[in-house]
Structure 1
Amino acid sequence: MDKQEEQFVKAYAPATVANVCCGFDVLGFALDAPGDEVWARKKETPGILISAVTGVEGLSADPTLNVIGVVAQKMLTDLNLEHGLELQLHKGMPVGSGLGSSAASSAAAAFAVNALLGNPFTTQELVVYAMEGERLASGSAHADNVAPSLLGGFVLVRGYDPLDVIPLGVPLDLYASVLYPQIELKTSLSRSILKQEIPLKKGIKQWGNLAGLMAGLLMKDYGLIRRSLHDEIFEPERSVLIPLFKQVKDAALKAGALGCGISGSGPSIFALSPSAEVAHDIKNAMEKVYAGSGIETKSYVSKVPEQGVRLVEQSIYQTV
């Protein structure tokens, strides 16, 4: 039999924290872990085949109903390629946690397929394709999770028409402590309770906090970051959906957090700090609040990384 060369790639994309208190729908940052992996290889026949979904139950292998299939198909279509792709998804992070689960899958798929095809797109250009996964998952093609998962560090989404994504990097050492209470909190519910109008006084405070947070990051000013990590508008409404939120936030701040808030739509709660030691102290303090509550939790400590998505395996092998 003839020898046939066959190439595959595997990409890892990390979880993310979106909103970041005062940055509702416009700001996010990457974590080191947890994250998702997508494996990809070319196949001669057209179309997308998802041959495996592991790590979580209930996700469809139908490429029109799974974010990795939608992302990959959009890329093939735009490049006018006739061959197909075989994909596999390994979920390394919880679904519905508020940590950008669908975004991590979408980002990993976009990056893996791009590498397999010879990198026709820059990583920043892949944001548009990963957003198609978000459109499928939530009905809205938003970028505040997929952009930091792809680009790493902090990312500001200035606008969508046209898309204007601004990587801020990680100008100073920042660590995230994340507590995930394992309760069901649908994004649709979390968004439905938000008021559509904002009082001018609160709006002014929020804009000042967001500007202060941006300045604090770029000026490497931990004090300014601490003063700015406050959500005047959305947290008071959303926090009632998360049991023990106020107690967790108080414990995190007491343990040395620069700020603490809801990750994405929740229920995960994040806190930022300037060192790994403080971050672990914060994690322990947050966990103690839930001890004995009857609610199981998962916790993570991660440095905010400069790099987001990355290849973890790329091989050309031969079969006989």
Structure 2
Amino acid sequence: MKSIKASAPATVANVSCGFDIFGFAVEAPADEVIVTLTDKPGVTITKIIGDDGRLPLEASKNTCGVAVLEFLKAVNSKYGAEIILYKNLPLGSGMGSSAASSAAALVAINELHGNPLTREQLLPFAMESERIACGSAHADNVAPSLLGGFVLIRGYAPLDVATIPTPANLFCTLVHPHLELKTEDSRRVLKPTIPIKDAITQWGNIAGMVVGLMKPDYGLIQRSLNDVVAEPIRSVLIPGFYTIKEEAIKAGALGCGISGSGPTIFALSTERTIAQTVGEAMQKQFDLLQLKSDVFVSKINGEGAMILKG
């Protein structure tokens, strides 16, 4: 039976002010899958490479398996699927690791069926896989991983997703310390309510971010990269966060914040060289804390998940 190889990129969710509604894709790292159609119904994950044996092989407990199962059921497929997952994203990193696996598997299985569904129509299946991963069917990682670009999740009932144009010379720095934070733990520390004063500040920053990206207005982007809801609480889970943030801005970043639920930290800059300098400054602070870290610098990835040749 036919096989397809696909990849899907890491993502930055929340983007400071946009808790659960903003997310964008980066160029690297990315998860890869090989999906093969089978005559036998159901989904089998035959191998996972790069997870040190930590992820379940049982399809109903693995994000890429759940996503493909949901797809096959929705299109009433007569086929089953076998999946090999190349896990290039670190687990519990705040870079949309579970989303990348499911997004890659979905574009592969959709391709194998002749692409009966659009990328937007694949989103609910990826969201169901997020429910398995962290207990919440949110879309701020899976949407940019599937669609590419900078994505706004306007609402969930019904699902309403829009892609926001971004400046060509906007660069992201991701610094991932070798720590793991489970999304459900990072969500658990958040308060169920916020003061109206903080809500107004957050709404203004969200609107400012959208306008800043579309004009583009880098000063407005810079002023809008401010989170008064999640970051003040989650920052305590990341060693040296505010010092690292301060050093990133000193090095020329427009702004800096927690990527998703952390511990990865992101920064946005107007030039690649600045983004690289920012990454060095941030990594130096982790070094001082005796924490190893990885640095990734890229533009906003406008393509998202893709079919790979060979």
Which TM-score tier does this pair reach, normalised by the shorter chain?
over 0.9
Question: Of residues 13, 26, 39 in structure 2, which corresponds to 1:44?
Answer: 39
Question: Of residues 137, 148, 170 in structure 2, which corresponds to 1:141?
Answer: 137
> 2-side partners of 1:229 and 1:292: how far apart?
26
Question: Of residues 194, 198, 215 in structure 1, which corresponds to 2:190?
Answer: 194
Question: Of residues 9, 13, 29 in structure 2, which corresponds to 1:14?
Answer: 9
| Letter paired with 1:24 | F
1:292 Cα shift? Answer: 3.3
Question: Of residues 10, 22, 28 in structure 2, which corresponds to 1:27?
Answer: 22
> 2-side partners of 1:164 and 1:292: how far apart?
43
Question: What stretches of structure 1 of length at least 5 have no aligned partner?
Answer: 1-5, 315-320
What does 1:1-320 correspond to in 2, within 5 Å?
6-57=1-52, 58-313=54-309
Compare 54-63 and 99-108 and name the one that shifted more. Answer: 54-63
1:254 Cα shift? Answer: 0.3
- 1:153-186 per-residue CA deviation (whole Å, 9 max, x = no partner) reads 1000001000001111434421111111112322
> 2-side partners of 1:76 and 1:226: how far apart?
43
1:188 Cα shift? Answer: 2.3
1:140 Cα shift? Answer: 1.1
| Letter paired with 1:254 | K
| Letter paired with 1:26 | I
Contact 1:172 1:220 in 2 (8 A): no
> 2-side partners of 1:233 and 1:60: how far apart?
33
> 1-side partners of 2:138 and 2:250: how far apart?
34
Contact 2:176 2:294 in 1 (8 A): yes
Compare 45-54 and 98-107 and name the one that shifted more. Answer: 45-54
> 2-side partners of 1:119 and 1:99: how far apart?
27
Question: What TM-score, normalized by structure 1, do the two folds share?
Answer: 0.94
Question: What stretches of structure 2 of length at least 5 have no aligned partner?
Answer: none
Identity of aligned residues (%): 51
Q: Which has the larger radius of gyration?
A: 1
- Runs of 4+, deviation exceeding 3 Å: none
> Over aligned residue pairs, what C-alpha RMSD do you find?
1.1
> 2-side partners of 1:75 and 1:192: how far apart?
30
State the number of aligned residues.
309
- SS of the residue aligned with 1:142? coil
- 1:254-283 per-residue CA deviation (whole Å, 9 max, x = no partner) reads 011111000011001000001101000000
Contact 2:166 2:216 in 1 (8 A): no
- 1:51-97 per-residue CA deviation (whole Å, 9 max, x = no partner) reads 11101121111111111111111111111112211111101110100
Question: What TM-score, normalized by structure 2, do the two folds share?
Answer: 0.97
> 1-side partners of 2:302 and 2:219: how far apart?
22
